Amino acid sequence: MAKSTGIHHITGITGSAKQNFGFYTKTLGLRFVKRTVNFDDPSAWHLYYGNETGAPGSALTFFLWDGVKPGRQGTGQAVEVAYAIPKGSLPFWKKRLDAEGFATAESERFGDKMISLADLEGMKIELVETSSAANAPAWADGPVSVEHAVRGFSGITLRPHNGTRTGEVLKDGFGYADGGKDGERQRYLGSADIGAHIDIVIDKEQPRGSQGAATLHHVAFRAANDADEMEIANRIQNVLCIDTTEQIDRMYFHSVYFREPGGILFEIATDNPGFTWDEPKERLGTSLKLPPWHEKNRAAIEKSLPPLE
């Protein structure tokens, strides 16, 4: 049976190019791996941050709708992005974040030590010490030393309307294992070194979320190749009776989308071709890349996009 090994990428919404770009590249030290547009709305940037190559399990992406109003984090959404950092790195990150004026909180979850904070627009971020982080590559030329650098995702927290049905998608659709409970959290586990844990939290007192800046748009889950993607998508359709889209070419991966019963938009994305498909590794993120069908409008698109740096 084809399974998803973990998270492929996570996509959020930002209303500020300067705040978004500065926080993720300078404060967190992620590599800016792809400078492109929202393929469905080429007037908006689509920004990709990740490890050295933006490998599956490391890419946090944002649709930039300049000046968009803040959303509300709540039920029916993915709400917290957890990054994996090497064991022993928490003091480094605590000192770094304190020096930059970020409010942080230290805690422990499923036996892993972590720091919680919010980015400059209020999106929730967690830095989690995990033993598996050492198996994932770091960006050697970033502002954070390899010893302490973010390696990719640890996981994601979901707040669906219906945790039982969302859990069925993760277990029966994607093939994740039951990872047990920690307080109100139910964990599901994939097999990848990064991006392998999905936590479900049900809070009936929390209001329904609304989309806007500092909220997450969707979560994409890995498929090894096209054949595995279609097998997983067919299982979602035929076993779980959830409608999916046709496969869509996103240039750097092939995608199938569906809204799971808890209200969150999910994507299945293939590991290949990857971000080096249209520019070499050493040049990632340095120039605007457009899909072929938007190339004829390149001049107008470049003129309409707000500056990033």
**pLDDT tens digits for 219-233?**
999 999 999 999 999
User: What's the number of CA atoms in the CB half-sphere (13 Å) around residue 168?
Assistant: 13
**pLDDT tens digits for 265-304?**
999 999 999 999 999 999 999 999 999 999 999 999 999 9
Fold of 7-301: 2,3-Dihydroxybiphenyl 1,2-Dioxygenase; domain 1 (3.10.180)
Which pLDDT score, from 0 to 100, does residue 133 have? 86
Alpha-carbon distances of 102 from 107, 122, 291, rounded to whole Å: 16, 11, 37
Residue 309 in this model has a pLDDT that exceeds 90:
no
**pLDDT tens digits for 167-201?**
999 999 999 999 999 999 999 999 999 999 999 99
Other CB atoms within 10 Å distance of the CB of residue 270: 24
Residue 153 in this model has a pLDDT that exceeds 90:
yes
Give all strands (DSSP E) within 51-169, no chain letters.
59-64, 77-85, 105-109, 112-118, 124-129, 152-159
**pLDDT tens digits for 14-49?**
999 999 999 999 999 999 999 999 999 999 999 999
H-only helix segments in 81-220 = 90-99, 163-168
Tell me the pTM. 0.97
| Domain coordinates in residue numbering, the chain | 7-301
Q: Are 190 and 6 in contact (CB under 8 A)?
A: yes
Cβ-Cβ contacts under 8 Å for 207 (sequence gap 6 or more):
72, 74, 75
